[in-house]
């Protein structure tokens, strides 16, 4: 993945968030710690992006071990879960993942009164439900 690909991914995510805000109105946000979580999410995304760029430019570099990738994914999903939980008002889940940075790489699906968060990277797929229960699978490429 090149830096152009990352820029396109970020632009696409921002465009989708703006479009959803036009369709549903702005998402109510509480800022009790959300800014710190957003900064942490962006930092993790930057590290992941730099890692992907470095791995794509160096043909001799192998992908990171699956357990390291899994740890990073679990961290991202926990941050996304914290965002959803802190933006749930009177049992009403937010219509979109509150953090655009996380929404770019985490799939958020509302189902009834619960939700699922899913991310896949380097053949490692992790899904977390509203209770924090995770399902993990490794599919080497």
Confidence (pLDDT) at 109: 95
- Residues 17, 22: Cα–Cα separation, whole Å: 9
Confidence (pLDDT) at 97: 92
For 59-108, the pLDDT digits (tens) are 556 778 888 889 999 999 999 999 999 999 998 999 999 888 899 999 99
Query: Alpha-carbon dihedral of residues 16, 44, 2, 119, nearest 10 degrees?
Result: -60
> Both tokens of residue 97?
């993942």
Contact (Cβ atoms closer than 8 angstroms) between residue 108 and residue 96: yes
Task: Give CA angle at 104 (101, 108), nearest 5°.
Answer: 105
Percent of the chain with pLDDT over 90: 35
What's this model's pTM, rounded to 2 decimal places?
A: 0.57
């Amino acid at each position: 993945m090149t830096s152009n690909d990352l820029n396109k991914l970020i632009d696409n995510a921002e465009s989708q968030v703006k479009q959803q805000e036009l369709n549903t109105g702005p998402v109510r946000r509480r800022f009790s710690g959300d800014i710190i979580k957003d900064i942490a999410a962006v930092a993790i995304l930057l590290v992941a992006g730099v890692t992907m760029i470095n791995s794509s430019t160096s043909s001799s570099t192998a992908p990171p071990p699956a357990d390291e990738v899994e740890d990073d994914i679990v961290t991202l999903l926990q941050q996304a879960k914290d965002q959803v939980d802190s933006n749930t008002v009177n049992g009403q889940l937010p219509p979109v993942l509150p953090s655009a940075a996380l929404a770019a790489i985490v799939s958020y699906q509302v189902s009834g009164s619960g939700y699922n968060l899913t991310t896949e990277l380097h053949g490692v797929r992790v899904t977390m439900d509203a209770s924090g229960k995770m399902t993990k699978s490794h599919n080497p490429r």
